[in-house]
Amino acid sequence: MAFLRGFGKYLPERVVTNAEMAAHLEVEADWIREMSGIEERRFAGDGESVAAMGAAAGLDALTRSGVGVGELGLILVSSGTAERRFPGPAAEIQHRLGAAQAIAMDVPMASAGALFALAQAERWAGRAGKVLVVASERMSDVAMTAPMEKGTAMLFGDGAGACVVDRDGGRARIVDFELGTDGSNASELRLEFGAPLHMNGRSVIMHASRKVPAAINAVLSRAGLAAADLRTILMHQANANLIAKIAQTLGVEAGKFYSNIARYGNTSSASMLIAARDWDEGFAPGDKVMFAAFGAGYQWGAMLVEGS
């Protein structure tokens, strides 16, 4: 058994509006909003590396959770945009936090990485005690790599999210999760070294709109619940239209999904935990909240938590 104790985030100061992005892409600003639901995003500046942003988000989560750095047994870091092949950002985040006693491991996954890291944290918590999950992405470097594809480049922003998972107690208990992988579609959403992002948008939408609801329903079925029983759904903020399509498939109002994509854009694996930090209204006992994500691989999943 493991619990979510608190969330953290870090967003760069630089705001990039649709008007600014539209000028780069030679499109209308309104077109970006209509196609994605995004109005602005954040771009990291000098010194705001994946590790630097991740450490800041991790510290925010620890502070809000009332957990000292010295209490951590494990740090799990998700990122698909690390600046080097190795080592990954986990070791540097451990050092920046001063958590020398904690094991640090990387989860090199885009988009769904935070969800997979939370699932790993649930399994590890029994041994490590307190686990810090961090997801940090610098997607602006990817978005602005020439040649820029307008339907892809418009989506992305930078930032980091974090969550403390605790064996001994917290505000919400992890009840169950469902994860999936379909490697036959790995080439449809990929980032090669030194190349722009390749995304088959039609394929991504088709698979995500089927597989995410299926994962959510599998978890709900095992818990004897319906989607209407959920207080909210905290999903990877990929695209507002995709979230609306998934809501329609589940048979719930789009408002059941918390969304902050208009302010931050798609921050890949960081987005779900940033959304959780922004949504964080407090878990009342018995509240049911679903986390969900879909991303490169293809990899996807859903996780049910209950207020404790």
Residue 165 per-residue DSSP state? E
Task: Give the DSSP letter of residue 164.
Answer: E
C-alpha span between 103 and 72 (Å, rounded): 9
Q: Which of 213, 254, 217 is nearest to 232 (CA)?
A: 254
Q: Give residue 263's pLDDT.
A: 98
pLDDT of residue 156: 97
CA distance 257 to 302: 13
Burial zone of 89 (CB within 10 Å; 0-12 exposed, 13-18 middle, 19+ buried)? buried
Domains and CATH numbers, the chain: 3-166 (3.40.47.10), 172-307 (3.40.47.10)
From first to last of the 308 residues of the chain, give the pLDDT tens digit.
999 999 999 999 999 999 999 999 999 999 999 999 999 999 999 999 999 999 999 999 999 999 999 999 999 999 999 999 999 999 999 999 999 999 999 999 999 999 999 999 999 999 999 999 999 999 999 888 888 888 899 999 999 999 999 999 999 999 999 999 999 999 999 999 888 899 998 999 999 999 999 999 999 999 999 999 999 999 999 999 999 999 999 999 999 999 999 999 999 999 999 999 999 877 899 999 999 999 999 999 999 999 99
CA angle (107 as vertex; 223, 148 as ends), nearest 5: 105
pLDDT of residue 241: 95
Secondary structure, 3-state, 169-180: CCCEEEEEEEEE
